[in-house]
Amino acid sequence: MTKLAVYPGSFDPITNGHLDLIQRGLRIFDTIIVAVAKNPAKQSLFTVEERLEMIRVAVGDKPRVKIDSFQGLLVDYVRSVNARIVLRGLRAVTDFEYEFQMNMMNRRLEPEIETVFLMTGLPWVFLSSSILKEAAVHGGNIEGMVPPYVFKQLKRKFGQE
């Protein structure tokens, strides 16, 4: 049986921390679907299409990584792709509290779906897309925190080319 996991998130934008989690997740799972959540209520810097493209470029040619987007309940999406595992990263206690609540709701909605948590790699424990965007908008040097293509897209988005 193929071990398929869904790694959901906004990925606005994808960071080197996300890529580290994907790489480490591939040691455990045969295939990972990186699933960009479409949330019309959330103000995103990049469109879903831009985020999907940045992920494609960042991941490169890895046949075991699929890239997709979804809207609505995560458990419905996971079920629709015939997966039973959600992959999530944890950075700090604040992540744990939020992820714990989400996991409990997801288990209530779909008891057959399990969530696997991986601790964020040490170099990325401080990094979030929100913090990264805050630094980038004010001209902070975020090089090395995101893949090169994402770095260029952030510079373009903030008119810093």
Residue 155 maps to a domain: no
Q: Which of 18, 51, 88, 133 is catalytic?
A: 18
**Active-site residue flag, 91:** yes
Q: Which of 27, 42, 108, 138 is catalytic?
A: 42
Q: What is the CATH number of the domain that holds 31?
A: 3.40.50.620
Q: 77-113 pLDDT, tens per residue?
A: 999 999 999 999 998 877 888 999 999 999 999 999 9
The domain of 106 spans: 4-125
Q: For residues 6 and 125, what is the distance between their CA atoms, to the nearest angstrom?
A: 21
Residue 60 maps to a domain: yes
Q: Which of 10, 51, 129, 133 is catalytic?
A: 129
Based on the structure, what is the number of domains in the chain? 1
Q: Give the 3-state secondary structure of residue 109.
A: helix
- Rounded to two decimals, the pTM is 0.94
**Active-site residue flag, 18:** yes
Q: 2-52 pLDDT, tens per residue?
A: 799 999 999 999 999 999 999 999 999 999 999 999 988 888 999 999 999
**Active-site residue flag, 129:** yes
CA-wise closest residue to 86 among 54, 38, 118, 55: 118
